[in-house]
Chain A
Amino acid sequence: GNSVTQMEGPVTLSEEAFLTINCTYTATGYPSLFWYVQYPGEGLQLLLKATKADDKGSNKGFEATYRKETTSFHLEKGSVQVSDSAVYFCALSEGAGGYNKLIFGAGTRLAVHP
């Protein structure tokens, strides 16, 4: 079945460091890909998405490119801030049946220190 694998955390960085969180997927067909962020005690917020190969999703300085050849959707940010500390989830939409059923990775906790 479809699945998402993302790098284990926690990832600890200093402010202004470069961030990469790896995400790879296994899927039949061509799913849409998402990154969600979860701040402490909160629900998930959509950070960015890409719906087809070579699409780049971007938001708040974060970027991820849908790579079909490597089945990857790695999250990057050039300069992290303390406020970026959260858990980041990579997900794909199975889309079967025409609805948005999401398959999530296990999440990667990011801690940014001043």
Chain B
Amino acid sequence: NAGVMQNPRHLVRRRGQEARLRCSPMKGHSHVYWYRQLPEEGLKFMVYLQKENIIDESGMPKERFSAEFPKEGPSILRIQQVVRGDSAAYFCASSLGAGDTEAFFGQGTRLTVV
């Protein structure tokens, strides 16, 4: 049973370009969380999705950031018109159910904006 798969592992974008980060949850998991880790900091919650629904996006910047988790396919975190401050590691986690179940993390996508 493969773990949470994120791709790409490393992504370099020029300022103003778009970044698309993908997350395939563990098999059977329908709950996905995205977190951002700035250099030398802890992870910060961004968004929580269930299949086809955004449940909590309280940690998402109001502009340029969006997330989706379609019925088929991976969850996508999309950052439009990237700026240098978007450079960070973005981690996805998935869980079998809501509540207090364990969330399994992917290896992350390290985004560098040049």
For B101, what are the chain A residues with a Cβ–Cβ distance below 8 Å? 100
What's the tally of chain B residues with a CB closer than 8 Å to chain A? 28
Closest to B45 in A: A101
Closest to B47 in A: A101
Q: Is A99 a contact of B98 with CB atoms below 8 Å?
A: yes
With A and B bound together, what is the CA distance between A49 and B103 in angstroms? Answer: 12
For B28, what are the chain A residues with a Cβ–Cβ distance below 8 Å? none
Question: Provided the pairs A97-B56, A101-B48 are in contact, do residues A32 and B100 lie with their beta carbons within 8 angstroms?
Answer: yes
B44 at the interface (CB under 8 A from A): yes
Q: Is B98 a contact of A102 with CB atoms below 8 Å?
A: no
For B48, what are the chain A residues with a Cβ–Cβ distance below 8 Å? 99, 101
Q: Is B45 a contact of A89 with CB atoms below 8 Å?
A: no
Stretch of A11-19, A78-86, A103-111 at the chain-chain interface: A103-111
Interface of A toward B, CB cutoff 8 Å: 4, 32, 36, 41-46, 49, 51, 89, 93, 95, 97-107
B25 at the interface (CB under 8 A from A): no
For A98, what are the chain B residues with a Cβ–Cβ distance below 8 Å? 98-99
Q: Is B108 a contact of A43 with CB atoms below 8 Å?
A: yes
B90 to chain A, nearest CB (A): 11
B24 at the interface (CB under 8 A from A): no
Q: Is A99 a contact of B55 with CB atoms below 8 Å?
A: yes
1/0 contact string of B29-42 vs chain A (CB within 8 Å): 00101010000111
For A42, what are the chain B residues with a Cβ–Cβ distance below 8 Å? 107
Q: Which 5 A-B pairs have CB atoms at the shortest separation, nearest pair first? A: A104-B42, A43-B105, A99-B98, A44-B105, A43-B107
